[in-house]
Chains A and B, each alone.
Chain A
C-alpha cells in the first residue's frame, strides 16, 4: 500500500511480462493497475483519466500489429514511457539569461515548499558556473526567514541583500526593488528573490506577489512546489498561474519517497516546464530536471544518467588522470589512492541515494535504505590514522603500529586487520588486472563499498552500470539498442 509509484508500475509490468500472449483483457487489467498506482501517487484524477485512456487506446491499436514472439509487454511499457516523457515536458529548459544583467529570478510558492533553501541551492548552482548571484530577502513575513536566508547565503558564499529585519517589519516590494539597483551598482549578474509563502486563495498576499513582479519584472518566476503535495497541486498551481503567474516549476523534497505525482499533474495541467529538482538537505543536492530521467525513475528503471553525472563531478579530472598515469607506470595501488577514492565517493552524496539510482534498485529498496553510511567514515578513519609510510606500504604494519592505528581511529585492532587483509588481497588482484577490468566485486564489497564503484578510473569493463553506461535514454528499447551498438 505504501509502495512508490515506480514499484507499483514495476509490478504491473512484471505481471504483463510473465504472459506469453497479451489479450485485450490483460491490457484492461494492467490499465486499472496503472490507474490505481497513479492515484496512490497523487497524480490528479483529471490527469490520470485521459492518461489511462491514451494508454488503453494505443495499446489496443498496437496489439494486432505485434508479431507473436516479439515482446508485447515491452511494447506496452514503451507506450507508457513515451506518454510519461511527453507529459513531463519533453525537453528540459534552462534559465533564460537577461540581455542586460542582472538576470532576475523570483521564487513563489506555498508555505513550507522549500523556497528559502531552494534560493540558496539555486545561488550555489549558478555561482559554481561562474555567475555572481545576489540573494534577496523579500520574505518579511515568516519569523526569521531573513535570518535563515542569511545563514544559507553564508554557507554557499553568496551575499544576501537584506535591508529589513523581517518578522512582519518592512515592505517586501521595496526590498525587491532596491535590490535591483544595488545589484546593478555592485555588478551582480543574477538576482534571486526569495518571497514569503502564500496560499493560492489569499488574495491580499497574491496581490503582494504581483506587486513584487511588477516592480522587478523578473526574467523567470519559478513556482516552487513540494513533491509530496496531493490533489491540491492542481488548484494551487492554477491559482499561482492565474495570480502572479510563473514560467517554470521547481520540485523540492524529491529525496522523500513521494515522487512523480505532483510533477505529472502540474506539467500536464499548466504546460509549464519543470526546470529544477531539489533532492536533499545539503545545499548541493540540486539539479536540472530531466523529464526522461524522471520518467524512467517513475517506471522503476533507475537513474543511471544522473549517477554518471554526479560521479563525473565528484571524481575531478586531475585526480583520475594522475591515478591512471600511475597505473600505466606500473606503480602500486596504495592506501593513499584508496583514501582519495573514498573521499570522492563521499563527495557524491549519501551512498543510499546513489544506490537508489541504479536500475532495479526498487527490488532491493530495504537493503539500500539500511545501508550503513558510516561504514565509509569508519574505513576512512582507519586509513587516516596511518602515517604516509604505512599508507604507501602496508607491509610495515606490525602489531604495535596496528594497535596505534586502532587507537587513533577509535576502532578495534581486528577492524584494522580486516581492512589491511582485504586491501592486500585487493592490491594483489589489482596487479593482475592492471590494464582493463574494473574493481572486482569481491574487493569492493569487502571494503564496504558497492561493487564497481571504484571502476570509474580503471576503464571499468566489469563495473556496474554507472561505469559502463553512457546512455541517457529513458526508453528501454532505445537503451538496449545503444548498449548493443
Chain B
C-alpha cells in the first residue's frame, strides 16, 4: 500500500483535503520513518496542491527532497577503492559481498579487504562470502590493526590492477569517538596508497531517526559519498534514508532486499517514488 494512494484519491476533484486526511497523511509519513522534520516539510508543500494534478504534484514534492548527486558507483581509471562503514548489525559484511557479486557480474574484477578485525568471526564471514561468489579476500590475523589490513590490501590490489577494492570495516556506534577516530585512520592510511573514491554508509531500513545522526557523524569523520539501505525485504520502508537524502544531500546508491547475494540492486528513485505513491 503506497503512502499516498488513499490520500491522492481523496484529493481528486477537491481543492483542499480535510484536516482528518492531513492527519492520516502525517501518520503515514511518520510511520514510514521519514521523521517529523521531513514530514512537516512535505505536508506544508502538499497543502498548496490543487486537486486536479495531485499525483504529479506529490511526485514533484518528493523528488525535490531527493539528492541530485550521482547514484552510480565511481569508476576510476586505476583501482576504485570503496570503504563500507556503519553502525553494528546493519549488514555491512553482507552488503560488501553483495556489492562484489554485483560488480563482478558486470565484468569487473574485485578484491575484498576484511578490515573488520573486531567482531568475533567477521573475517571468516567475509571469507565464506568470498568463496561463495569467487572473489579474493585479503585479511590479517584476528585482532590485527584494521588500518594495516586495509593498507596491505590497497598495496596488493595496486599491483594486481584490480578494478575494485571493497573494504569491510567493523561496525561502530557513531557516538564513540575513539572508534570513529580509528575509522578515520583506516581511510587515511589507505589513501597513502590509493584514493578512496567511495565511502558507503550502510543504513538498516528498520532504523529510525537515529539514522540521520549516524549519517551526519560518519560524514564528519570519513565523508560518506552514498548510502546502502539494507533489509528492505521486511515491513520497514526505510524512510529515514529519504530523510538523510533531504537533510544531508547524500544519495542512496544501492538497496539490499534479502539474504542471497543476488538480493541487491542499484537504487532507482523513480521506481521507488512511484511505489510509494501509486500502488
Question: Could you list which residues of chain A lie within 8 angstroms of chain B, going by C-beta atoms?
Answer: 1-2, 36, 39-42, 44-45, 110-114, 116, 141-145, 147-148, 150-152, 155, 167, 199-202, 226, 228-233, 235-236, 239, 253, 255-258, 261-262, 281, 369-370, 373
Chain B: minimal CB distance from A85 (Å): 22
Asked if B164 is at the interface of the complex by the 8 Å CB criterion, the answer is no
> Are A144 and B121 in touch, CB under 8 angstroms?
yes
A233 to B118, CA, bound (A): 28
> Are B125 and A42 in touch, CB under 8 angstroms?
no
A239 to B234, CA, bound (A): 11
> Are B236 and A232 in touch, CB under 8 angstroms?
yes
Chain A: minimal CB distance from B279 (Å): 17
Binds A, one of B1-9, B29-37, B77-85: B29-37
Chain B: minimal CB distance from A26 (Å): 21
Seed contacts A40-B209, A142-B125; 14 additional CB < 8 Å A-B pairs: A2-B212, A41-B209, A144-B122, A144-B125, A144-B128, A147-B124, A229-B206, A231-B31, A232-B234, A257-B173, A257-B175, A261-B208, A261-B209, A369-B175
Binds A, one of B88-96, B148-156, B193-201: B88-96
Asked if B185 is at the interface of the complex by the 8 Å CB criterion, the answer is no
Q: Report the nearest A residue to B247, measured CB to CB.
A: A1
> Are A2 and B213 in touch, CB under 8 angstroms?
yes
Known: A36-B36, A231-B32. Contact between A114 and B236, CB under 8 A? no
Q: Report the nearest B residue to A3, measured CB to CB.
A: B213
Known: A114-B88, A147-B121, A239-B235. Contact between A232 and B206, CB under 8 A? yes
A40 to B239, CA, bound (A): 13
> Are A110 and B208 in touch, CB under 8 angstroms?
no
A residues less than 8 Å from B211 (CB atoms): 228, 230
Chain B: minimal CB distance from A144 (Å): 4
Question: Number of contact residues on B: which range applies?
Answer: 35 or more
A42 to B206, CA, bound (A): 11
Q: List 15 A-B contacts (CB under 8 A).
A: A1-B212, A39-B209, A42-B209, A45-B31, A110-B231, A111-B259, A199-B235, A228-B87, A228-B207, A228-B210, A229-B208, A231-B32, A232-B237, A257-B175, A370-B177
Q: Report the nearest A residue to B92, measured CB to CB.
A: A112
Chain A: minimal CB distance from B215 (Å): 10
**B37, B118, B206, B247: residue with the most chain A Cβ atoms closer than 10 Å:** B206
Asked if B271 is at the interface of the complex by the 8 Å CB criterion, the answer is no
A232 to B209, CA, bound (A): 12
* Interface of A (DSSP majority class): loop
A residues less than 8 Å from B21 (CB atoms): none
B residues less than 8 Å from A45 (CB atoms): 27, 30-31
Asked if B11 is at the interface of the complex by the 8 Å CB criterion, the answer is no
Which 5 A/B pairs are nearest by Cβ-Cβ distance?
A230-B208, A112-B89, A42-B208, A258-B210, A151-B120
Interface string of B161-202 (1 = CB under 8 A from A): 000000000000111111000000000000000000000000
A143 to B125, CA, bound (A): 5
> Are B120 and A232 in touch, CB under 8 angstroms?
no
Known: A40-B209, A45-B27, A152-B120. Contact between A235 and B235, CB under 8 A? yes
B residues less than 8 Å from A110 (CB atoms): 206, 231, 234
A residues less than 8 Å from B208 (CB atoms): 41-42, 228-231, 233, 258, 261-262
> Are A369 and B234 in touch, CB under 8 angstroms?
no
Known: A41-B209, A147-B124, A373-B178. Contact between A232 and B36, CB under 8 A? no
A1 to B235, CA, bound (A): 26
A236 to B237, CA, bound (A): 12
> Are A199 and B234 in touch, CB under 8 angstroms?
yes
Q: Report the nearest B residue to A259, measured CB to CB.
A: B210
Chain B: minimal CB distance from A198 (Å): 10
Asked if B129 is at the interface of the complex by the 8 Å CB criterion, the answer is yes
> Are B32 and A369 in touch, CB under 8 angstroms?
no
A239 to B235, CA, bound (A): 10
Chain A: minimal CB distance from B10 (Å): 20
> Are A256 and B89 in touch, CB under 8 angstroms?
no
Interface set, chain B 228-242, CB cutoff 8 A to A: 231, 233-237, 239-240
> Are B173 and A143 in touch, CB under 8 angstroms?
no
B residues less than 8 Å from A257 (CB atoms): 173-175, 210, 213
